[in-house]
Amino acid sequence: MRRFLVIALIVAVAPALARAADADTPKAAAMRKKLQQKVTVEYKESMFREILDDLKEQVQGLTTQEDTKGGVSLNSRMTYKAKDKPLAEVLTEICDKYELGWYVISNTANGYDGSVRITRGKERGYEAGKEPDKKPDDKKPDPKVKPDDKKPDDKKPEPKPDDGDKDEQDAAKKLKLAKGFVDVPETYKKKLEEIVKQYPKTKAAEEAKKILEKLGG
């Protein structure tokens, strides 16, 4: 009986442990949030080191670790431009164009935990071999089952989201992102004005108005 209980416990806990092992470290998770901040850039024959420095100025807290021994040259000249794109997308497009790779280091034993690693590989956000499993929605539908074959009872009505709550959440997220540009007055002011215009009845819009008043907007 005791042996049965031990085996049952192992079976129950194993999936949770597996998920924990795949999860990002706190620093890596924080960096992934920073990578969602939007940036506007334009480089023409700029050195890679200059590009990285510019991105670090736009996204506070961004840290990088370049694999120079593996062939990454900080003196490489690059031409690229983007407008209001998430930093993660910008990194991917630069890497696509110049045959580089990037991923967030997620290892508490690594001194660079939470930094963005630039390589000569093909990584896109995650270290090779450590990509997260695809979601169930990503699986291809079974060709043997046609949509018409499903019974009406199988289809459950989707709950309608509360537009007010959604606007509050979206506005709050945009305000948080906007505050990341506090050191770039023009961009900061522009993003605050967008919040006031798009979500006029939200708390975030009220806060944005007060900040604009202080900025003289």
CB-based contacts of 8: which residues, under 8 Å, 6+ apart?
none
CA distance 75 to 72: 9
Q: What is the pLDDT of residue 216?
A: 78
**Residues paired with residue 53 on neighbouring β-strands, in sequence order:** none
d(Cα 71, Cα 4) in Å, to the nearest integer?
A: 54
Percent of the chain with pLDDT over 90: 50
**Per-residue pLDDT tens over the stretch 96-124:** 999 999 999 999 999 999 999 999 999 99
CA atoms of 88 and 33, how far apart (whole Å): 10
pLDDT value of position 3: 58
Residue 160 has what pLDDT?
58
Cα–Cα distance, 212 to 65 (Å, whole number):
37
Q: Where are the beta strands (DSSP E) in 48-185?
A: 64-66, 77-86, 101-104, 116-119, 124-125
The pLDDT tens digits for 142-164 are 666 555 555 555 566 665 556 66
The C-alpha angle with vertex 31 and arms to 27 and 33, in degrees rounded to 5, equals: 120
pLDDT band with cut points at 50, 70 and 90 for residue 130:
confident
Determine contact, residues 78/46, Cβ cutoff 8 Å: yes
What is the DSSP secondary structure assignment for residue 1, as one 8-state letter?
-
Q: Give the count of beta carbons closer than 10 Å to the beta carbon of residue 65.
A: 16
Reference 118, options 83, 60, 78; nearest CA is 78
The span from the CA of 122 to the CA of 119, in Å, is 8
